[in-house]
Structure 1
Amino acid sequence: MQIPAVLQNAVPAQLEQAVADNHAEMFMQNTIACGGAIQRRSGLTWTYSGPEHGAAVLFPAMDAAAAGPQLDEMMDYYRMHPPKGAGCWSLMPAQPHNLGVLLLARGFQPGWQPQWMALDLNAMHTGHARPAGLQVTADNETPIHDIKDLPYANSNSLSAELKQQYPDRAQRFIATYNDRVVAHSEVFFTTGPLGVAGIYSVGVLPRVRNKGVGKAVVLAACQYAQQRGYRYAVLNATGRRMYEQVGFRFIGYGNTWWLQSQAYRTHPLTREQVALAEAVGNGNIAMLEALSSRFSTAGMNAPMANGLTLIQLAVHCRQVTAAEWLMGHGAAYTVLDAWDLGKQELAAAMLKAQPALANQQYGEWQATLLHLAAERNDVSLAQLALSACPDLEIRDKTYNGTALGWALHLGSTEIAEMIQKNVK
């Protein structure tokens, strides 16, 4: 077997770039395998694989002066060729540094932070217990999309087309127990000076978790990579503990933003609206003043294409001065907005004047202040919410849980005790 040219003796910065390169190449190969298109500009690459598939914006590294026009061109392309959804992935710090502001102003929603991890395959930990009779095999053919409760069974990072057309670059592993599929993982290979094995789509059925099954499918992919001559495996972890037991080490955070709502296409923002949102996100008061005469109070309160208001954008970007400017020009704000801007006295005054605001539900999850306090383990916010005697039976829309249920599930013990003392 010919040993490929791959990354050796890496420093953390090389590993971070390697994980970005592996992800980017995986997205592009998926696009090619599905017959899609890859668009490249200076420092900006995005994909399109048809209206039934998601698209990806791949680790932009744009010049600050050119970034806005380039992203406008990309958004125009997606309006003409709408994908099922799109995600932008970035290392930290982003390039340019205000990439998130530019994306949010154009319709992307805030995403989550990938946790990049890397494993020197010469130091992986293999001596883990596993259920007797567990079998892990390389298998790119067996359908698993209809297996209930198996994570990523319907949303594998590596498409079926990619695994069929490029089996030398993409391999799936399936774990069976008592002749039933209970877990899976995937590995995607890149070569060259930063060549690594990327681990993806690690999913384990709930009923067999904490038995070594997850480690078994991860190790199968890692050992396969080592046999092919690779030195490092990399991944984005949803939780570090299991991967650390295999030998992976945390190397850094990334960022994501997601284009999910179709409002960017059905109700596209004008260039002036984009400029206003950018000014808010960047905290550019001079630009806000210059644009103020062109927008009514209603216009400043209208949701953007991503559903955020300008005040919420200021809060998200931690632009207190911009938020204060908006408030001064009639922008509406909530108790949560005031709290997140560090204006605790204002938040308390709002609740004292209107105690029913404690029952207001926020965001896609429709969570109350008390739900959010439990999620954040923010005891002070919980105390504020409870001071208004909220309805403790309100349930969120996504998980149908009360604030007490959230606190117990998330381990916010002190907040759970506080809520229980207020239960009549």
Structure 2
Amino acid sequence: MLLQDDAAPRQLEQAAAFNHTTLFGQEAEALGGSVLSRGGLSWTSGTPHSPSMVPFPELQPDDAGRRLDELIAFYLQYPPKGAGCWSLDPASPADLGVRLLARGFQPGWRPRWMGLDLQQVLSDHPAPKGLEIEIDNTLSLDHIKGLPYAQVVMPSPQKAEIPGQWMRFIARWKGKIVGHSVVFLSTGPYGAAGIYHVGVVPRARGLGIGKAVTLAACLYAREKKYRYAVLNSTDIGRHAYERLGFVTVGEGWTWWLVTDRLLAHPPAPREVELAEAVGRGDAAALDRLRSLYGPADLNRPMTNAMTMMQLAVHCRQSAAAEWLIAGGAACSVLDAWDLEWKDRARQLLATDPAAVNQLYGEWNKTLLHFAAERNDEELAQVALSAGPDLQLKDKLYQGTALGWAQHLGHRNIAGMIETHMR
């Protein structure tokens, strides 16, 4: 039995979740791990060389904290190479994200769930002359420089539930491997074809190769009598998938755990208690905790490297942020801006103009980098009015704020920075 007829968007979301869950399990077993399950929470064990996955928890509010504590205890005893938790929207329970952040996970990206009726796949797309696509599940692609997902491990046929459940499509152009994709076929009432690991080397992008390897996977699934294909996409990949006929059926949530941080600073029960109260904006709990936490506690980074103030900002809990400030927590210009305290942000800069050059997060982005990234012209004007150092570069891309604005096509902000440089 497979997902058939005219599936509604929510059914396609469920099909994507089911496909991901099954795939994670088989990937874990292929790498020597296993799947564990306790009270509505399942996860793959992971290994020192592979991450654990926590697919789509279905937890009861009165039991969620205990189950997540058991998960963290497992990771402390058997550390994986990181961990990722996936959820549909809304999560179950609704405050799942707060509970995970309190225990060391950090905010992740939001998957865009997309679905395609394979009877309506759009197959007429230009591709480079001489492009060849072949099925190959055994060839190692580790040596292909710049190929995303090159280290994907394909499970052996003996692990498959059905023949041909996993297939990898490799694109060759001008005698070299330039791209690939993987299709994973799940079975049952939500059985669908999951499209994964679509990647093209940098020099061959923008030529239609990504669409070609995705189309090959879709046509294979259709030959196997599958009605629907599902995938998760970033905003960057969405337009390419839409040209094949995929439509957005919903968005999800992810949270990610850095093992080294967990091992160095396991979340203490009192830290979890405070973080959950802040993240939920629980006024009664915060009042009860007032006398227990001093400025050092409130400003100390949590397991996930966020401060309590950053947690309040992330969860849009302005009242909790005020509670933190009253207790001695620091509030940065970016914190104030993101809480819609724009006058306070301006006042903070007026009092300390050097704060405009504060470096935020692991990427060392400045206030102006955030303005360029978000295309926030008002924030850019506020930052520029404080006389920022325009030569400061982020840590990951080594780009100035002007470089970010130009790369992202945010012309107005680029023009504002260029004008300020004259």
- 2:33 and 2:205 mapped to 1: Cα distance? 37
* Residue number in structure 2 paired with 1:35: 32
TM-score, normalised on structure 2?
0.97
Q: Which moved more, 1:247-256 or 1:38-47?
A: 38-47
Do 2:265 and 2:303's aligned partners in 1 also have CA atoms closer than 8 Å? yes
- 1:131 and 1:371 mapped to 2: Cα distance? 37
Amino acid in structure 2 at the alignment position of 1:177: W
* Residue number in structure 1 paired with 2:72: 75
Do 2:299 and 2:308's aligned partners in 1 also have CA atoms closer than 8 Å? yes
Amino acid in structure 1 at the alignment position of 2:35: I
Q: CA deviation at 1:264?
A: 2.1
Q: CA RMSD in A?
A: 1.3
- 1:347 and 1:6 mapped to 2: Cα distance? 51
Q: CA deviation at 1:165?
A: 4.1
- 2:72 and 2:129 mapped to 1: Cα distance? 52
Q: CA deviation at 1:163?
A: 6.1
TM-score, normalised on structure 1?
0.96
* Residue number in structure 2 paired with 1:410: 408
Q: CA deviation at 1:290?
A: 1.3
Matched ranges for 1:2-401 at <5 A: 5-154=2-151, 156=152, 159-162=153-156, 165-166=159-160, 168-238=164-234, 239-401=237-399
Amino acid in structure 1 at the alignment position of 2:18: D
- 1:6 and 1:295 mapped to 2: Cα distance? 53
Q: CA deviation at 1:377?
A: 0.5
- 1:139 and 1:50 mapped to 2: Cα distance? 26
Aligned residues: 418
Amino acid in structure 2 at the alignment position of 1:70: R
Secondary structure (helix, strand or coil) at the match of 2:155 reads helix
Q: Which moved more, 1:242-251 or 1:258-267?
A: 258-267
Deviations 1:205-252 (A, max 9, x none): 222222221111011100000001100011111221111111111111
- 2:340 and 2:347 mapped to 1: Cα distance? 14
- 1:241 and 1:256 mapped to 2: Cα distance? 22
Do 1:261 and 1:306's aligned partners in 2 also have CA atoms closer than 8 Å? no
- 2:262 and 2:156 mapped to 1: Cα distance? 30
Deviations 1:303-337 (A, max 9, x none): 00000000000000000000000001111111101
Do 1:261 and 1:305's aligned partners in 2 also have CA atoms closer than 8 Å? no
Q: CA deviation at 1:7?
A: 3.5
- 2:193 and 2:154 mapped to 1: Cα distance? 18
Secondary structure (helix, strand or coil) at the match of 1:240 reads helix
- 1:149 and 1:85 mapped to 2: Cα distance? 22
**Which structure 2 residue ranges, 5 or more long, are not aligned?**
none
- 1:35 and 1:367 mapped to 2: Cα distance? 39
Q: CA deviation at 1:164?
A: 7.1
- 1:298 and 1:49 mapped to 2: Cα distance? 35
Q: Which moved more, 1:66-75 or 1:202-211?
A: 202-211
Deviations 1:247-279 (A, max 9, x none): 111111010000014222232122111000000
- 2:63 and 2:91 mapped to 1: Cα distance? 15
- 1:85 and 1:163 mapped to 2: Cα distance? 27
Do 2:46 and 2:53's aligned partners in 1 also have CA atoms closer than 8 Å? no
Change (3 A) 1:236 1:163: farther
- 1:307 and 1:373 mapped to 2: Cα distance? 23
- 1:336 and 1:220 mapped to 2: Cα distance? 45
- 1:129 and 1:339 mapped to 2: Cα distance? 45
- 2:336 and 2:285 mapped to 1: Cα distance? 23
Change (3 A) 1:407 1:164: farther
Do 1:187 and 1:221's aligned partners in 2 also have CA atoms closer than 8 Å? yes
- 2:47 and 2:158 mapped to 1: Cα distance? 19
- 1:153 and 1:8 mapped to 2: Cα distance? 35
Q: Which moved more, 1:400-409 or 1:257-266?
A: 257-266
Secondary structure (helix, strand or coil) at the match of 1:176 reads strand
Deviations 1:75-101 (A, max 9, x none): 001110100000000000111111100
- 1:146 and 1:110 mapped to 2: Cα distance? 31
Identity of aligned residues (%): 53
Amino acid in structure 2 at the alignment position of 1:328: A
- 1:56 and 1:294 mapped to 2: Cα distance? 35
